[in-house]
Chains A and B, each alone.
Chain A
Amino acid sequence: MKRRRYPKQIKSKSKQSMNSYQTQLNTTKQPFFEELDQNIKFIKDSFFNADDVEFRTFTFNEKKCAILYLSTLVNKEVMNEFVIKPLQDAQSGNIAETINTAQVDHSYDLMKIVRGMIEGQCAIFTEGNEYAYLVNVFLTKFRNISEPTNEYVIRGSHEGFIESLQTNIYLLRKRIENPNLFMKYVTIGKTTNTKIAIMYIKDLADPQLVKTIEDRLNYIDTDAIQTPGYIEEFIEDYPLSPFPQVLNTERPDRATANLMEGRIVLLMEGSPTVIVLPITFFSFYQSPDDYNSRWLVGTFLRAIRLASFLIAIGLPAIYIALVSFNLEVIPVELVFSVKNSLEFIPFPPLLEAFIMQLTLELLKEASVRLPSPISQTIGIVGGLVVGTAVVQANLISNVMLIVVAITAVASFVVPSNEMTTTVRILGFPLMIMASLFGFVGIVFGLMILLMHMCKLEPFGHPYFAPFAPFHLQDFKDTVIRLPRWLMNTRPLDAKPQHLRQEWPSRGWKKDEE
Chain B
Amino acid sequence: MKNKSESITKYQLLFMILQTQIGVGVLGLPYSVHKVSKSDGWISVIIAGLVVQLMIFIIWSLVRKYPGETIYGIAEQITGKFFGKFIGAIYILYAIVISTLILVLFQDILKLWVLPNTPKWVIMFLMVFASLYLVKERVRVIARFYLFVTSMIPFLIILTFISFPEVAEYRYLFPIGQAGAMKILLGAHSVLISMLGFEMLLLLSKYVDASDRSIFKFVSIANGTTTAIYIFLTMISYVVFSPKEIEIVPQPVLYMLKAITFKIVERIDLLFLSIWIVIVTTSLMSYLLFASKGLAHFLKKEEHKKAAYVLAIPVYLLALIPQDKFQVEQISTYIGYASYLFIAILPIVLWMLSSITSRNSKRR
Which of A440, A448, A468, A470 makes the CB contact (< 8 A) with B133?
A: A448
Min C-beta distance of B23 to chain A, whole Å: 15
B interface SS class: helix
**Beta-carbon contacts under 8 Å, B248-302 to A:** 261, 263-267, 270, 273-274, 277-278, 281
Is B331 an interface position by the 8 A CB rule?
no
Min C-beta distance of B308 to chain A, whole Å: 13
Stretch at the interface among A99-107, A118-126, A200-208, A328-336: A328-336
Q: In the complex, what residues of A have CB within 8 A of residue B11's CB?
A: 470
Q: In the complex, what residues of A have CB within 8 A of residue B149's CB?
A: 447, 450
Is A467 an interface position by the 8 A CB rule?
yes
Q: In the complex, what residues of A have CB within 8 A of residue B263's CB?
A: 331
Is B130 an interface position by the 8 A CB rule?
yes
Which of A329, A438, A443, A469 makes the CB contact (< 8 A) with B266?
A: A329
CA distance A447 to B135 in the complex (A): 13
Min C-beta distance of B120 to chain A, whole Å: 13
Which of A329, A441, A450 makes the CB contact (< 8 A) with B270?
A: A329
B144 A437 Cβ-Cβ under 8 A? no
Q: In the complex, what residues of A have CB within 8 A of residue B115's CB?
A: 437-438, 440
Is A439 an interface position by the 8 A CB rule?
yes
Central interface residue in A332, A443, A451, A468, by most chain B CB within 10 Å: A451
Interface size class of A (residues with CB under 8 A): 20 to 34
CA distance A450 to B123 in the complex (A): 19
**Beta-carbon contacts under 8 Å, B127-157 to A:** 127, 130, 133-134, 137, 141, 144-145, 147-149
Q: In the complex, what residues of A have CB within 8 A of residue B281's CB?
A: 447
Q: In the complex, what residues of B have CB within 8 A of residue A344's CB?
A: none
B144 A454 Cβ-Cβ under 8 A? yes
* With A330-B264, A330-B265 as contacts: A454 and B145 at CB distance below 8 Å: yes
**Beta-carbon contacts under 8 Å, A432-471 to B:** 437-444, 447-448, 450-452, 454-455, 462, 464, 467-470
A439 B145 Cβ-Cβ under 8 A? no
Min C-beta distance of A314 to chain B, whole Å: 12
Q: In the complex, what residues of B have CB within 8 A of residue A377's CB?
A: none
Is B186 an interface position by the 8 A CB rule?
no
A469 B144 Cβ-Cβ under 8 A? yes
* With A328-B267, A443-B274 as contacts: A450 and B145 at CB distance below 8 Å: yes
CA distance A441 to B261 in the complex (A): 23
B110 A468 Cβ-Cβ under 8 A? no
Is B126 an interface position by the 8 A CB rule?
yes
Is B118 an interface position by the 8 A CB rule?
yes
Q: In the complex, what residues of A have CB within 8 A of residue B126's CB?
A: 437, 440-441, 444
A330 B266 Cβ-Cβ under 8 A? yes
* B 99-114 to A, binary, CB cutoff 8 A, 1 in contact else 0: 0000000000010001
A331 B147 Cβ-Cβ under 8 A? no
**Beta-carbon contacts under 8 Å, B169-226 to A:** none
CA distance A450 to B267 in the complex (A): 25
Min C-beta distance of B4 to chain A, whole Å: 12
Q: In the complex, what residues of A have CB within 8 A of residue B267's CB?
A: 326, 328-329
Min C-beta distance of B143 to chain A, whole Å: 8
CA distance A438 to B273 in the complex (A): 12
Min C-beta distance of A376 to chain B, whole Å: 39
Q: In the complex, what residues of B have CB within 8 A of residue A330's CB?
A: 264-266
Q: In the complex, what residues of B have CB within 8 A of residue A437's CB?
A: 115, 118, 123, 126
Q: In the complex, what residues of B have CB within 8 A of residue A470's CB?
A: 11, 144, 147-148
* With A326-B270, A468-B148, A470-B148 as contacts: A454 and B265 at CB distance below 8 Å: no
CA distance A479 to B39 in the complex (A): 44
* With A331-B264, A443-B274, A443-B277 as contacts: A455 and B141 at CB distance below 8 Å: yes
Central interface residue in B126, B144, B274, by most chain A CB within 10 Å: B144
Q: Which B residue sits closest to A441, measured CB to CB?
A: B126
* With A439-B114, A451-B134 as contacts: A468 and B145 at CB distance below 8 Å: yes
Q: In the complex, what residues of A have CB within 8 A of residue B141's CB?
A: 454-455
Which 5 pairs show the lowest CB-CB distances between chains A and B? A468-B144, A451-B134, A454-B145, A454-B144, A443-B274
**11 interchain pairs, CB-CB under 8 A:** A326-B114, A437-B115, A439-B114, A440-B126, A444-B277, A447-B130, A447-B281, A454-B134, A467-B148, A470-B147, A470-B148
